[in-house]
Structure 1
Amino acid sequence: MRPSPLFALPLFLATFATGAGAASWKEQQIAAAEKSESILRQVEKVRGLLAQYQIMRAAYVADEARAFRLIFGQYLSWHQSYLGLHEDAMQSFSIQQGSDKQDAPSPLEGDAWRSEPAADTIARLANGQRAVFFNEAHNAAITRSLTVEMLPKLRQLGYTHFAAETLYETDTELARRGYPNDASGFYTQEPVYAEMVRTALKLGFTVVAYEAASEAVGDAREKEQARNLYNRVFKDNADARVVVNAGYAHIVESGKYLGGASMAQHFRKIARIDPLTVEQTMLIPHTEASQDHPYYRALLASASPKTPVAFVDGDGKPWSLRAGQYDVSVALPPYTHENGRQTWLSLGGARRAYTVDGEICRSVMPCLIEARYIGEGDDAIPADRIVFGLQDSSLTGSERKFRTVDQLRTDLYLRPGRYRVRASGADNQIVNTQNITVGTNPQR
């Protein structure tokens, strides 16, 4: 099921529609959501991610209305993440993390807390639990990186099932095939999300879809998701242990959510299992530092992390930015770049940088480059994607130019192994195919 802008409206309205003009703002957002839906229906008729993105980008540039950019910018950002344009994705849509009265005191206050690798913290806390819930920001693929890294550790601890939001239950061949394709889900079109599902399958997890199959929204959707999760994991398997990946506050453990309760709250009532909840969407880097949570930069200066970190006291108790809502908060490291890509794409060192240049495109611009595992079909979601020569549609006339005309060289991030690299144009026609081998050391 493709998410609709109408799913997001209750959150946006609660955030922005207060005081004078609230009714008008609500009407603007509803109109923007309806326009966004109309554009998306047109886009879905077009073949190829690159061609779809160009239509979406042009529509975004053509309408500067705040309500439209707020709603449609979220969809644009998802497609940018699918194409490996992670910086652009965060610019098109980003939730500012301001201070909140519910925030716990910073772990830098006093000397009770120390930082440690989040992977170590979570592995220790997850030992003996029956469910671990990770959240993510759907357009910020960096918020999936730690979850991918944690899967081998959690498998070793005895976790048996992996469940992810917006996986489609209609893809009954996923386990047999061993990799996700376009029929597998919505967010799985993004390569890091696909790598999360692929990794779970390779490790022997039973991968389950728990997304609501109905058109339910708000509390009804949360309850349906929780019921699906219980029925497909625990109902007939009392010894099961599950890792769940969900968006934003679907995993919040207390308080109202979208006028009712969250998926995690419904799950706890239905399954009588209190999940370990890992919050990793609030203490993250933004393209503009003004959007970072007020604690974020100070925490980074204190810990100087190159990998995700958590904070614990002398007894190993984890710090949470929202105590009572989430069990542990994770601070993700700041962006660093090498050869035009964000280095978190190494996924904790599991993947290596493999440099490609524009020659692979044979002068076809813009050009989409995709790397698929040898042994997987052409329908597989790639291990990584990049784009060369994408025109900046915000420029017109004589100013129009290629964004990467002076840098037709960048990195794919891939696990050691053999890959089939394919270059194609906006018309979806393949212009070049190469087989490569990625070794254990970076290749530049």
Structure 2
Amino acid sequence: MIPFLFLTCLAGSAAAQNGDLFSSVAMRFLSYPANYLKPLDTLLSFQSTIGKDARMRPRFFNELATYSSFIGNYRDALRYYDSAGFREQVPASPSGPDAFSGYRPASARQTIIRMAASRQVTIINEAHHVPYHRLFTKSLLQELYNAGYRYLALETLGSFDDELNNRKYPVAKDGYYSHEPLYADMVRTALNIGYRLVSYEFNGSCTGREDCIMKREQHQAEQLHQVLQKDPAAKMLVHVGYSHLREAPLNGIEWMAARFKKLSGIDPLTINQEFMRETFNPALQHPAYNTAMKLFKLQEPSVFVKADSLWNFAPADRSCDILVFHPPYGMAQGRPDYYRLDATRKPVTVRLKKAYDHVMIQAYIAAEKDAGRLPADQLLLERGNEARLMLAAGEYDVVVRDGEGEILEIKTVTVQ
């Protein structure tokens, strides 16, 4: 699905024209999804004009952040998102040295798996420009399946039939965010484990921001509720973006999780990954996150435990059950360090026939033959960079493409 942001109404002719630009870039990308570089290059060519338009700046830099995340440019994704000026309304909380008094860090993964085992529905969110949120959700899949979870509902999926569930891996037509390799890998992993994917996104018409939000949240809640009406004993994991997991209203808006809870009578376990994470500019990080990093120097996704309670925001805020604190991720061997969350991947240096500049190197799983297949990993190669991919064991078709999407080189790589 094209991001819901594309469907927002724009006021004024200049804004409308710029909105048409964003939609045009997205549609061209979706029609030729192998060319990940073209959307970035096109948008960057307008940075001196649209990037300085106060009305369009948030949307412009958000799109740059998203497309940067697609090609694995993690630091650029963070930097562009900071430039967009979005400031999520994060609840206030104690953040001084005593904020975590009596608490100790514990594995977020193990805590979630334990708590989710006794719940029927678990909802976890992501920031759309942060790929490691998908790696973390992927790390939960097998244990949750062992605990009885059988459905995985994904925000990115538009309307689809059972072709995806039967095919067992995603292709370009199966969603927008799944074009990012780690999202595609999360989908592929879930299907191979045995999950049934659920589409629940709103594709109807709406007018104005409030009407669109209300209709979207209500439709999502109803679609998820329908799954459990048809299969009342089922357990379901739902992977959403940002505020859809909120159990409490925000600015008078009732979000999807709250509506689902009201409709179904089921209290979901809600897990927020987006609040407690690094930003490009540390000054934009939540004060409590900065305190936690200073006190505990976390090395893995963590929660904070005291007796039987988890550290959360002030008692007045009931927006989620669990806050995951992700450590800052630097670079390791030329790639983002968050790949250590996936023990199946290892660095693989690909020897190419020549030195390239400003091209994409993409690794496709050789057994996936569809024309719209999605890369397992990819990297933007600039002059002097090493072609180091992060790949699990298997056979891959490695493709080098220029800025227009033309293939410059193909080779087969086998990873033991």
* 1:41 corresponds to: 23
Q: Report the residue type matching 1:109 in the other structure.
A: A
Deviation at 1:192, TM superposition (A): 1.0
The answer to whether the Cα contact below 8 Å between 2:348 and 2:391 also exists between their aligned partners in 1 is: yes
2:49 match: 62
- Name 2:214's counterpart in structure 1: 219
Decide whether aligned partners of structure 1 residues 214 and 110 sit closer, same or farther in structure 2, where only a CA change above 3 A counts: closer
- Distance in 1 (CA, whole Å) between partners of 2:100 and 2:327 is 23
Superposed, 1:82-231 pairs within 5 Å as 82-94=70-82, 102-103=92-93, 108-109=98-99, 111-170=101-160, 172-216=162-206, 217-231=212-226
Q: Which deviates the most, 339-348 or 215-224?
A: 339-348
Aligned partners of 2:198 and 2:14: how far apart in 1?
34
- Answer whether contact 2:364 2:375 (CA < 8 A) is retained: yes
Residues 160 and 199 in structure 2, CA contact (< 8 A), matched pair in contact too: no
Q: Deviations over 1:72-128 (max 9, x none)?
A: 111121111111112111111136768966435679536331111100111111111
The equivalent residue for 1:395 is: none
Residues 1:2 and 1:343: Cα distance change in structure 2 (over 3 Å)? same
Cα distance in 2 between the residues matched to 1:34 and 1:332: 38
Single out whichever of 124-133 and 93-102 deviates more from structure 2. 93-102
**1:385 maps to which residue?**
378
Task: Say whether 1:270 aligns with 2:263.
Answer: yes
Are 1:409 and 2:386 matched, yes or no?
yes
CA distance in 1, matches of 2:90, 2:193: 39
Counterpart CA distance in 2 for 1:215 and 1:424 is 38
For these two proteins, the number of residue pairs brought into alignment is 400
In structure 2, do the counterparts of structure 1 residues 438 and 33 end up closer, same or farther at CA, with 3 Å as the change threshold?
A: farther
Checking the alignment, whether the CA contact within 8 Å between 2:97 and 2:291 is kept in structure 1 is no
Corresponding residue for residue 39 of structure 2: 52
Two-structure CA RMSD over aligned residues (Å): 2.4
Corresponding position: 1:284 with 2:272? no
- Residue 428 of structure 1: how far off its partner (Å): 1.7
Normalising by structure 2, we get a TM-score of 0.89
Is contact 2:95–2:288 with CA below 8 Å preserved after alignment?
no
Distance (whole Å) between structure 2 residues aligned to residue 31 and residue 289 of structure 1? 37
User: Unaligned 5+ residue runs, structure 1?
Assistant: 10-25, 390-404, 440-444
TM-score w.r.t. length of structure 1 = 0.83
Q: Return closer, same or farther for 1:31/1:247 CA change in 2, 3 Å cut-off.
A: farther
Question: CA deviation digits over 1:323-381, x for unaligned, max 9?
Answer: 41110101101112113211102334232122236x35x45532111112221125221
Counterpart check, 1:336 vs 2:326: no
Q: In the alignment, residue 5 of structure 1 is paired with which amino acid?
A: L
Structure 2 residues without counterparts, runs of 5 or longer: 207-211
1:401 paired residue number: none
- 1:419 paired residue among 376, 396, 400: 396
* Shift, 1:207, TM fit: 0.7
Give the % identical residues: 28
Task: Give the secondary-structure state (helix, strand or coil) at the position aligned to 2:257.
Answer: helix
Structure 2 letter corresponding to 1:183: K
Matched residue, 1:430: 407
